[in-house]
Structure 1
Amino acid sequence: MGSIVTKLSTAFGSPERIMVLGLGGAGKTTVLYRLKFGTALPMVTPTVGFNIETLTPQDGAVFKVWDIGGGSQAKYMWKRCLQQSKGIIYVVDSSDRDRFDESQEELSFLLDSSNSENIPLVVLANKRDLPGSAASTEVAQALALQEYTGRRMWHVQTISATTGDGLEEAIDILCSFIKDSEQRTR
Protein backbone atom coordinates (compact mmCIF):
# COMPACT_ATOMS: atom_id res chain seq x y z
CA MET A 1 0.00 0.00 0.00
CA GLY A 2 2.96 2.33 0.32
CA SER A 3 3.00 2.57 -3.47
CA ILE A 4 -0.56 3.92 -3.41
CA VAL A 5 0.52 6.88 -1.26
CA THR A 6 3.45 7.52 -3.60
CA LYS A 7 1.12 7.50 -6.61
CA LEU A 8 -1.22 9.95 -4.93
CA SER A 9 1.58 12.33 -4.05
CA THR A 10 2.86 12.26 -7.63
CA ALA A 11 -0.58 13.19 -8.93
CA PHE A 12 -1.41 15.81 -6.35
CA GLY A 13 1.72 17.68 -5.47
CA SER A 14 1.82 19.25 -2.05
CA PRO A 15 -0.39 20.00 -0.18
CA GLU A 16 -3.62 19.01 -1.87
CA ARG A 17 -6.91 17.45 -0.89
CA ILE A 18 -9.11 14.58 -1.99
CA MET A 19 -12.54 13.90 -0.58
CA VAL A 20 -13.80 10.48 0.49
CA LEU A 21 -17.60 10.62 0.52
CA GLY A 22 -20.55 8.24 0.57
CA LEU A 23 -23.43 7.04 2.69
CA GLY A 24 -22.91 5.91 6.25
CA GLY A 25 -21.61 2.36 6.50
CA ALA A 26 -20.26 2.25 2.94
CA GLY A 27 -16.63 1.89 4.07
CA LYS A 28 -15.20 5.41 3.75
CA THR A 29 -13.18 5.30 6.95
CA THR A 30 -11.90 1.81 6.18
CA VAL A 31 -10.70 3.10 2.79
CA LEU A 32 -9.03 6.09 4.48
CA TYR A 33 -7.13 3.97 6.98
CA ARG A 34 -6.24 1.39 4.33
CA LEU A 35 -4.58 4.27 2.42
CA LYS A 36 -2.86 5.64 5.53
CA PHE A 37 -1.71 2.45 7.23
CA GLY A 38 -1.84 -0.12 4.43
CA THR A 39 -4.20 -2.29 6.43
CA ALA A 40 -7.77 -2.21 7.66
CA LEU A 41 -8.28 -1.37 11.30
CA PRO A 42 -9.98 -4.16 13.28
CA MET A 43 -12.94 -2.02 14.38
CA VAL A 44 -14.10 1.23 12.82
CA THR A 45 -16.81 3.31 14.46
CA PRO A 46 -19.18 5.55 12.46
CA THR A 47 -17.64 8.91 11.61
CA VAL A 48 -19.22 11.87 13.36
CA GLY A 49 -18.29 14.97 11.40
CA PHE A 50 -15.11 14.17 9.53
CA ASN A 51 -11.65 12.65 9.69
CA ILE A 52 -8.70 14.34 8.05
CA GLU A 53 -5.56 12.33 7.59
CA THR A 54 -2.28 13.64 6.27
CA LEU A 55 -0.48 11.15 4.09
CA THR A 56 3.24 11.64 3.63
CA PRO A 57 4.89 9.30 1.16
CA GLN A 58 8.61 8.66 1.05
CA ASP A 59 9.22 11.47 -1.45
CA GLY A 60 8.27 14.04 1.19
CA ALA A 61 5.11 15.39 -0.46
CA VAL A 62 2.18 16.04 1.84
CA PHE A 63 -1.52 15.79 1.08
CA LYS A 64 -4.73 15.46 3.02
CA VAL A 65 -7.52 12.94 2.60
CA TRP A 66 -10.85 14.12 3.99
CA ASP A 67 -13.34 11.47 5.11
CA ILE A 68 -16.66 13.21 5.70
CA GLY A 69 -19.31 11.25 7.55
CA GLY A 70 -22.37 10.04 5.72
CA GLY A 71 -24.91 11.28 8.26
CA SER A 72 -27.62 13.63 7.04
CA GLN A 73 -26.11 16.73 8.69
CA ALA A 74 -22.60 16.01 7.42
CA LYS A 75 -23.80 15.79 3.82
CA TYR A 76 -24.36 19.54 3.74
CA MET A 77 -20.62 19.97 4.35
CA TRP A 78 -19.79 17.96 1.23
CA LYS A 79 -20.23 20.77 -1.31
CA ARG A 80 -18.39 23.30 0.79
CA CYS A 81 -15.45 20.98 1.36
CA LEU A 82 -15.09 20.34 -2.37
CA GLN A 83 -13.48 23.73 -2.88
CA GLN A 84 -9.78 23.23 -3.63
CA SER A 85 -10.17 19.46 -3.90
CA LYS A 86 -8.37 17.58 -6.66
CA GLY A 87 -10.49 14.45 -6.64
CA ILE A 88 -13.59 12.76 -5.27
CA ILE A 89 -13.69 9.18 -4.08
CA TYR A 90 -17.32 8.16 -3.60
CA VAL A 91 -17.74 4.90 -1.70
CA VAL A 92 -20.79 2.68 -2.24
CA ASP A 93 -21.63 -0.55 -0.42
CA SER A 94 -22.03 -2.74 -3.50
CA SER A 95 -23.73 -5.46 -1.45
CA ASP A 96 -26.56 -3.18 -0.28
CA ARG A 97 -28.76 -2.66 -3.36
CA ASP A 98 -31.56 -1.32 -1.15
CA ARG A 99 -29.52 1.87 -0.67
CA PHE A 100 -28.48 2.41 -4.31
CA ASP A 101 -31.30 4.93 -4.89
CA GLU A 102 -30.33 6.92 -1.80
CA SER A 103 -26.68 6.82 -2.83
CA GLN A 104 -27.58 8.03 -6.33
CA GLU A 105 -29.56 10.96 -4.90
CA GLU A 106 -26.69 12.02 -2.66
CA LEU A 107 -24.12 11.70 -5.42
CA SER A 108 -26.30 13.74 -7.81
CA PHE A 109 -26.68 16.41 -5.10
CA LEU A 110 -22.90 16.54 -4.88
CA LEU A 111 -22.04 16.40 -8.58
CA ASP A 112 -24.60 18.97 -9.66
CA SER A 113 -22.76 21.54 -7.56
CA SER A 114 -20.92 24.20 -9.50
CA ASN A 115 -18.05 23.72 -7.03
CA SER A 116 -17.38 20.21 -8.33
CA GLU A 117 -17.79 20.37 -12.10
CA ASN A 118 -14.12 19.81 -12.99
CA ILE A 119 -13.22 17.45 -10.16
CA PRO A 120 -12.61 13.84 -11.28
CA LEU A 121 -14.70 11.12 -9.66
CA VAL A 122 -13.81 7.54 -8.82
CA VAL A 123 -16.61 5.46 -7.33
CA LEU A 124 -15.45 2.61 -5.14
CA ALA A 125 -17.98 -0.22 -5.28
CA ASN A 126 -16.85 -1.53 -1.91
CA LYS A 127 -17.45 -4.90 -0.26
CA ARG A 128 -16.95 -6.90 -3.43
CA ASP A 129 -15.80 -9.73 -1.18
CA LEU A 130 -19.38 -10.19 0.10
CA PRO A 131 -21.72 -12.64 -1.66
CA GLY A 132 -24.08 -11.03 -4.15
CA SER A 133 -22.22 -7.73 -4.44
CA ALA A 134 -22.96 -5.71 -7.55
CA ALA A 135 -20.60 -5.46 -10.50
CA SER A 136 -19.15 -2.09 -11.49
CA THR A 137 -21.54 -1.77 -14.45
CA GLU A 138 -24.56 -2.28 -12.20
CA VAL A 139 -23.28 0.34 -9.74
CA ALA A 140 -22.61 2.81 -12.58
CA GLN A 141 -26.14 2.31 -13.88
CA ALA A 142 -27.71 2.60 -10.41
CA LEU A 143 -25.85 5.88 -9.80
CA ALA A 144 -26.86 7.21 -13.25
CA LEU A 145 -23.26 8.03 -14.06
CA GLN A 146 -23.91 7.90 -17.80
CA GLU A 147 -25.51 11.35 -17.36
CA TYR A 148 -22.04 12.73 -16.63
CA THR A 149 -20.25 11.19 -19.60
CA GLY A 150 -18.60 14.00 -21.54
CA ARG A 151 -19.06 16.43 -18.64
CA ARG A 152 -16.83 14.82 -16.02
CA MET A 153 -14.17 12.14 -15.79
CA TRP A 154 -15.56 9.19 -13.81
CA HIS A 155 -14.88 5.54 -13.22
CA VAL A 156 -16.35 2.76 -11.06
CA GLN A 157 -13.94 0.27 -9.50
CA THR A 158 -15.00 -2.75 -7.46
CA ILE A 159 -12.90 -3.05 -4.31
CA SER A 160 -12.71 -4.59 -0.88
CA ALA A 161 -11.47 -2.00 1.58
CA THR A 162 -10.83 -4.68 4.19
CA THR A 163 -8.48 -6.67 1.93
CA GLY A 164 -7.32 -3.83 -0.30
CA ASP A 165 -8.29 -5.68 -3.49
CA GLY A 166 -8.94 -3.21 -6.31
CA LEU A 167 -7.93 -0.12 -4.34
CA GLU A 168 -4.58 0.37 -6.05
CA GLU A 169 -6.22 0.19 -9.48
CA ALA A 170 -8.78 2.79 -8.40
CA ILE A 171 -6.05 5.15 -7.20
CA ASP A 172 -4.15 4.68 -10.48
CA ILE A 173 -7.25 5.78 -12.38
CA LEU A 174 -7.86 8.76 -10.06
CA CYS A 175 -4.24 9.88 -10.51
CA SER A 176 -4.59 9.62 -14.28
CA PHE A 177 -7.79 11.66 -14.18
CA ILE A 178 -6.16 14.33 -12.03
CA LYS A 179 -3.20 14.67 -14.39
CA ASP A 180 -5.55 14.93 -17.39
CA SER A 181 -7.67 17.51 -15.58
CA GLU A 182 -4.65 19.64 -14.70
CA GLN A 183 -3.40 19.54 -18.30
CA ARG A 184 -6.81 20.67 -19.59
CA THR A 185 -6.91 23.68 -17.25
CA ARG A 186 -3.44 24.93 -18.25
Structure 2
Amino acid sequence: MFSLLYGFWRYLFQKDEYYILILGLDNAGKTTFLEQTKISMNPNYRGLNLMKISCTVGLNIGKIDNNGVILNFWDLGGQSELQCLWDKYYAESHAIIYVVDSSDQQRLDESKRAFEKMIENESLKGTPLLFVANKQDVSCMPITRIMDEFRLETIISAAQRDFHFVAVSALKGDGIKESIDWIIETVKKNSVFKPPINVTE
Protein backbone atom coordinates (compact mmCIF):
# COMPACT_ATOMS: atom_id res chain seq x y z
CA MET A 1 0.00 0.00 0.00
CA PHE A 2 2.80 2.39 0.90
CA SER A 3 4.58 1.82 -2.42
CA LEU A 4 1.34 2.51 -4.31
CA LEU A 5 0.79 5.79 -2.46
CA TYR A 6 4.45 6.75 -2.86
CA GLY A 7 4.27 6.08 -6.58
CA PHE A 8 1.18 8.25 -6.89
CA TRP A 9 2.84 11.01 -4.85
CA ARG A 10 5.89 10.91 -7.14
CA TYR A 11 3.66 11.07 -10.18
CA LEU A 12 1.93 14.19 -8.87
CA PHE A 13 4.84 16.12 -7.39
CA GLN A 14 8.17 14.89 -8.71
CA LYS A 15 9.61 16.27 -11.91
CA ASP A 16 12.59 15.29 -14.02
CA GLU A 17 15.23 17.98 -14.32
CA TYR A 18 17.76 18.18 -17.17
CA TYR A 19 20.72 20.45 -17.93
CA ILE A 20 21.18 21.82 -21.44
CA LEU A 21 24.28 23.64 -22.70
CA ILE A 22 23.94 26.43 -25.28
CA LEU A 23 27.26 26.87 -27.08
CA GLY A 24 28.62 28.72 -30.10
CA LEU A 25 30.69 31.78 -30.92
CA ASP A 26 29.99 35.18 -29.41
CA ASN A 27 27.28 37.05 -31.34
CA ALA A 28 25.79 33.82 -32.74
CA GLY A 29 22.51 34.55 -30.95
CA LYS A 30 22.73 32.11 -28.03
CA THR A 31 21.30 34.50 -25.44
CA THR A 32 18.54 35.62 -27.81
CA PHE A 33 17.68 31.95 -28.37
CA LEU A 34 17.53 31.42 -24.60
CA GLU A 35 15.40 34.53 -24.04
CA GLN A 36 12.93 33.53 -26.77
CA THR A 37 12.71 30.09 -25.20
CA LYS A 38 11.88 31.58 -21.79
CA ILE A 39 9.37 34.00 -23.32
CA SER A 40 7.57 31.31 -25.33
CA MET A 41 7.55 28.66 -22.58
CA ASN A 42 6.97 30.84 -19.50
CA PRO A 43 3.75 32.87 -19.98
CA ASN A 44 4.52 35.28 -17.11
CA TYR A 45 8.12 35.97 -18.16
CA ARG A 46 8.57 39.47 -19.55
CA GLY A 47 12.13 38.95 -20.79
CA LEU A 48 14.93 41.21 -21.91
CA ASN A 49 14.76 43.63 -24.81
CA LEU A 50 15.98 41.31 -27.58
CA MET A 51 17.39 44.23 -29.56
CA LYS A 52 19.69 45.23 -26.68
CA ILE A 53 21.25 41.89 -25.76
CA SER A 54 25.04 42.06 -25.61
CA CYS A 55 27.66 39.32 -25.75
CA THR A 56 27.68 36.97 -22.77
CA VAL A 57 30.72 37.22 -20.53
CA GLY A 58 30.60 34.13 -18.36
CA LEU A 59 27.24 32.43 -18.02
CA ASN A 60 23.52 33.09 -18.47
CA ILE A 61 21.08 30.73 -16.80
CA GLY A 62 17.49 29.98 -17.74
CA LYS A 63 14.82 27.50 -16.68
CA ILE A 64 11.57 26.29 -18.19
CA ASP A 65 8.97 23.85 -16.89
CA ASN A 66 7.09 21.98 -19.59
CA ASN A 67 4.69 19.10 -18.90
CA GLY A 68 6.53 17.78 -15.86
CA VAL A 69 10.00 18.26 -17.34
CA ILE A 70 12.31 21.01 -16.10
CA LEU A 71 15.04 22.21 -18.45
CA ASN A 72 17.92 24.22 -17.01
CA PHE A 73 19.88 26.09 -19.67
CA TRP A 74 23.50 27.18 -19.36
CA ASP A 75 24.31 29.79 -22.03
CA LEU A 76 28.11 30.06 -22.06
CA GLY A 77 30.19 32.91 -23.47
CA GLY A 78 31.57 32.15 -26.93
CA GLN A 79 34.61 34.40 -27.06
CA SER A 80 37.80 32.43 -27.82
CA GLU A 81 39.23 33.10 -24.36
CA LEU A 82 36.04 31.72 -22.73
CA GLN A 83 35.75 28.54 -24.80
CA CYS A 84 38.29 26.85 -22.54
CA LEU A 85 35.58 26.87 -19.85
CA TRP A 86 33.04 24.95 -21.90
CA ASP A 87 34.34 21.50 -20.99
CA LYS A 88 33.82 22.19 -17.28
CA TYR A 89 30.08 21.78 -17.94
CA TYR A 90 30.11 18.80 -20.32
CA ALA A 91 29.83 15.99 -17.78
CA GLU A 92 26.66 17.47 -16.23
CA SER A 93 24.84 18.20 -19.48
CA HIS A 94 22.01 16.09 -20.89
CA ALA A 95 22.06 17.79 -24.32
CA ILE A 96 23.96 20.41 -26.32
CA ILE A 97 22.52 23.22 -28.41
CA TYR A 98 25.18 24.56 -30.80
CA VAL A 99 24.25 27.91 -32.37
CA VAL A 100 25.80 29.20 -35.60
CA ASP A 101 25.36 32.68 -37.04
CA SER A 102 24.40 31.69 -40.57
CA SER A 103 24.74 35.30 -41.75
CA ASP A 104 28.43 35.57 -40.76
CA GLN A 105 30.43 33.92 -43.52
CA GLN A 106 33.74 35.34 -42.27
CA ARG A 107 33.57 33.49 -38.94
CA LEU A 108 32.24 30.21 -40.25
CA ASP A 109 35.66 28.51 -40.07
CA GLU A 110 36.16 29.77 -36.52
CA SER A 111 32.80 28.39 -35.48
CA LYS A 112 33.58 25.10 -37.21
CA ARG A 113 36.86 24.73 -35.26
CA ALA A 114 35.09 25.40 -31.95
CA PHE A 115 32.39 22.89 -32.89
CA GLU A 116 34.90 20.18 -33.83
CA LYS A 117 36.85 20.61 -30.62
CA MET A 118 33.62 20.36 -28.63
CA ILE A 119 32.25 17.32 -30.46
CA GLU A 120 35.50 15.37 -30.01
CA ASN A 121 35.45 15.69 -26.21
CA GLU A 122 34.99 12.28 -24.56
CA SER A 123 32.69 13.75 -21.90
CA LEU A 124 30.10 14.46 -24.61
CA LYS A 125 30.15 10.99 -26.13
CA GLY A 126 26.55 10.06 -26.94
CA THR A 127 25.15 13.40 -25.74
CA PRO A 128 22.25 14.57 -27.95
CA LEU A 129 23.08 17.54 -30.17
CA LEU A 130 20.78 20.20 -31.60
CA PHE A 131 22.52 22.23 -34.32
CA VAL A 132 20.88 25.64 -34.73
CA ALA A 133 21.49 27.72 -37.87
CA ASN A 134 20.42 31.09 -36.50
CA LYS A 135 19.62 34.48 -38.10
CA GLN A 136 17.51 33.07 -40.90
CA ASP A 137 15.59 36.37 -40.93
CA VAL A 138 18.50 38.19 -42.61
CA SER A 139 20.66 37.50 -45.66
CA CYS A 140 22.46 34.27 -44.84
CA MET A 141 24.33 31.30 -46.25
CA PRO A 142 22.36 28.37 -47.69
CA ILE A 143 21.61 25.62 -45.18
CA THR A 144 23.33 23.07 -47.42
CA ARG A 145 26.59 25.01 -47.27
CA ILE A 146 26.55 25.16 -43.48
CA MET A 147 25.89 21.44 -43.29
CA ASP A 148 28.73 20.75 -45.74
CA GLU A 149 31.19 23.06 -43.96
CA PHE A 150 30.54 21.41 -40.60
CA ARG A 151 30.53 17.91 -42.15
CA LEU A 152 27.26 17.24 -40.37
CA GLU A 153 26.34 14.23 -42.50
CA THR A 154 29.63 12.54 -41.50
CA ILE A 155 29.15 13.42 -37.84
CA ILE A 156 25.60 12.09 -37.88
CA SER A 157 26.61 8.77 -39.43
CA ALA A 158 29.76 8.31 -37.34
CA ALA A 159 28.52 9.34 -33.91
CA GLN A 160 26.12 7.32 -31.84
CA ARG A 161 24.03 10.23 -30.66
CA ASP A 162 20.68 11.82 -31.36
CA PHE A 163 21.13 14.77 -33.72
CA HIS A 164 18.80 17.38 -35.15
CA PHE A 165 19.41 20.37 -37.44
CA VAL A 166 17.05 23.35 -37.34
CA ALA A 167 16.99 26.71 -39.13
CA VAL A 168 15.99 29.44 -36.69
CA SER A 169 15.40 33.13 -36.31
CA ALA A 170 15.90 33.57 -32.57
CA LEU A 171 15.03 37.26 -32.87
CA LYS A 172 11.61 36.51 -34.37
CA GLY A 173 11.08 33.25 -32.49
CA ASP A 174 10.91 31.08 -35.62
CA GLY A 175 12.04 27.52 -34.93
CA ILE A 176 12.16 27.88 -31.13
CA LYS A 177 9.22 25.58 -30.39
CA GLU A 178 10.54 22.89 -32.75
CA SER A 179 13.93 23.12 -31.04
CA ILE A 180 12.62 22.80 -27.49
CA ASP A 181 10.13 20.07 -28.38
CA TRP A 182 13.02 18.04 -29.84
CA ILE A 183 15.21 18.64 -26.76
CA ILE A 184 12.46 17.52 -24.36
CA GLU A 185 11.62 14.41 -26.36
CA THR A 186 15.30 13.48 -26.76
CA VAL A 187 16.48 13.95 -23.18
CA LYS A 188 13.54 11.88 -21.98
CA LYS A 189 14.43 9.15 -24.48
CA ASN A 190 18.07 9.21 -23.38
CA SER A 191 17.29 9.27 -19.65
CA VAL A 192 18.08 5.58 -19.35
CA PHE A 193 21.71 6.40 -20.26
CA LYS A 194 21.94 9.74 -18.47
CA PRO A 195 19.26 9.92 -15.79
CA PRO A 196 17.66 13.25 -14.89
CA ILE A 197 17.82 14.83 -11.48
CA ASN A 198 14.52 14.29 -9.68
CA VAL A 199 13.07 17.32 -7.93
CA THR A 200 9.97 17.56 -5.79
CA GLU A 201 7.78 20.64 -5.72
Q: TM-score higher than 0.5 here?
A: yes
Who is 2:198 aligned against? Answer: none
The runs of 5 or more residues in structure 2 that have no matched partner are: 1-14, 41-46, 196-201
Question: Is the contact made by 2:63 and 2:71 (CA closer than 8 Å) also made in structure 1?
Answer: yes
Q: What is the number of residues matched between the two proteins?
A: 172
Task: Tell me how far 1:16 sits from its aligned partner.
Answer: 1.7
Who is 1:9 aligned against? Answer: none
Who is 2:109 aligned against? Answer: 101
1:130-163 CA distance string (max 9 Å, x none) = 02x1233322211122232231322221100011
The runs of 5 or more residues in structure 1 that have no matched partner are: 1-12
Query: Which structure is larger by alpha-carbon Rg, 1 or 2?
Result: 2
| Residues 148 and 75 of structure 1: CA distance in aligned 2, closer, same or farther (over 3 Å) | same
Decide which of 121, 126, 132 is 1:118's aligned counterpart. 126
Q: Does 1:28 align with 2:30?
A: yes
Question: Is the contact made by 1:136 and 1:156 (CA closer than 8 Å) also made in structure 2?
Answer: no
Q: Distance in 1 between matches of 2:178 and 2:71?
A: 19
Who is 1:74 aligned against? Answer: 82
TM-score using structure 1 length: 0.83
Task: Tell me how far 1:54 sits from its aligned partner.
Answer: 2.4
Q: Percent identity?
A: 33
The residue matched to 1:149 in structure 2 has which SS? helix
Q: Distance in 1 between matches of 2:155 and 2:24?
A: 18
Who is 1:138 aligned against? Answer: 145
The residue matched to 1:83 in structure 2 has which SS? helix
| Residues 167 and 62 of structure 1: CA distance in aligned 2, closer, same or farther (over 3 Å) | closer
TM-score using structure 2 length: 0.77
The residue matched to 2:166 in structure 1 has which SS? strand
Which has the larger displacement, 112-121 or 75-84?
Answer: 75-84
